[in-house]
Amino acid sequence: MSDFGLRLVICDLAPADRPSLFFRARTLLQIFYSSPEAYRMEKKGKKGKRQKDGEITIPREEWVYGHAAEKVSSLTLEIDPATGKLNILESDPSTIRRQITHKRKSKDDKVLYSAPADDFSLSLTDFEEVQQRFDYLMAVDTNSLDTLHKGYKVSACCIYVVKEHLKSIGTDLLFEHHATFLILNPDLDAKNEPVGWHLAISQSIAPWFLQSCQIGMIVDSELGKHIAINAGKEPYYSDHYLPTTLRFIYASDRSATYANSMIRQCHASANMLLKHFEGVGIDSILQRQSLKLGEALCYRIVSPRQS
């Protein structure tokens, strides 16, 4: 352990004005297990923003989080000497996740990336961990216009994929456009992001492929629900639960990992479609055959190269 720093914080979730020696609700385990390089990153974080090649950058920190299944009074840490993996025996494996964050003034840390993890060690890079867990990657982002068109909230869902098997990829991660959908929703209170997720899962992936491969799906919303959704305890859309072969990965459109690059490309492409829609108008779209999900009318957009 001499080459690593280990910090264990056990947070009591009792109200701040009622300090307690006992754990209330559920126990949050926050583990920081860092190499010297990662520790230097932590120290830079205390200095705030720094200048690099004319660009303002914010130091990032990498953490692994997990929840205990019930109230606990002690924790049992187990390190595998052969693999270097660090486990906490009281933790619920379905809650373990790896996160990249940065500090914000007077706010909680900004989460840039959050993905399921197998242990608390950070012995693998974020990409190596994804390679170990998944066969393929896809990213899905849905953006919406601020103005209504004939009573519809208009959204564009764009999907990018890594077509190569992740275990065959070296240092270069290439991704490409896979599918795009336009969503017209008269239910102004509904969120169109889950509609986009369902289109990606049900309309863009062949059933045989979905059943036979482990897929990581990168999204940029509802982070607080990801643990429950990934564990099959909560539906991702309407009454639909994730397939057992697919799990959510969270990424913002800020630079941090390959996942952030993929979601950023989805975001840009969705905005391009919305700009094109504003030029074309809604009338020609409504004349086309749609797929209806709830109240939403969904249209698959085919580029001239695909037609």
Q: Is the pLDDT of residue 73 over 60?
A: yes
Please tell me the predicted confidence (pLDDT) of residue 287.
92
Question: How many C-beta atoms lie closer than 10 Å to residue 217's C-beta?
Answer: 23
- 161 and 302 in a single domain? The answer is yes
Residue 214 CB contacts under 8 Å (≥ 6 apart), including other chains? 133, 134, 135, 136, 245, 246, 247
Q: Which domain-ending residue is among 123, 144, 159?
A: 123
Residues 62 and 112 in one domain: yes
Residue-number span of the structural domain to which 7 is assigned: 1-123
Q: Please answer whether residues 37 and 122 qualify as being in contact, where contact means their C-beta atoms are separated by less than 8 angstroms.
A: no
pTM of the model: 0.81
- Residues 188, 99: one domain? no
pLDDT 10s digits, 32-56: 333 333 322 232 333 344 444 444 4
Q: What mean pLDDT is predicted for residues 144-156?
A: 96
Instruction: Specify whether 162 is located in the same domain as 118.
Output: no
Split into its structural domains, the chain has a count of 2
Q: Are 113 and 175 contained in the same domain?
A: no
Using one digit for the tens of pLDDT, what is the confidence trace for 173-223?
A: 789 999 999 999 999 999 999 999 999 999 999 999 999 999 999 999 999
Are residues 214 and 135 part of one domain? Answer: yes
What is the pLDDT confidence band of residue 13, given thresholds at 50, 70 and 90?
Answer: very low
Of the residues 81, 99, 123, the one at which a domain ends? 123
Round to whole Å and give the CA distance between 239 and 194.
11
pLDDT digit string, tens, across residues 250-287: 999 887 789 999 999 999 999 999 999 999 999 999 99
Last-in-domain residue among 123, 145, 165: 123
Whether residues 116 and 129 share a domain: the answer is no
Locate 15 and state its tokens. 């109200």
pLDDT of residue 304: 52
pLDDT at 259: 93
Same domain, 116 and 181: no
The alpha helices in the chain, defined as continuous H runs, are: 36-45, 126-133, 192-203, 207-212, 226-230, 258-280, 283-286
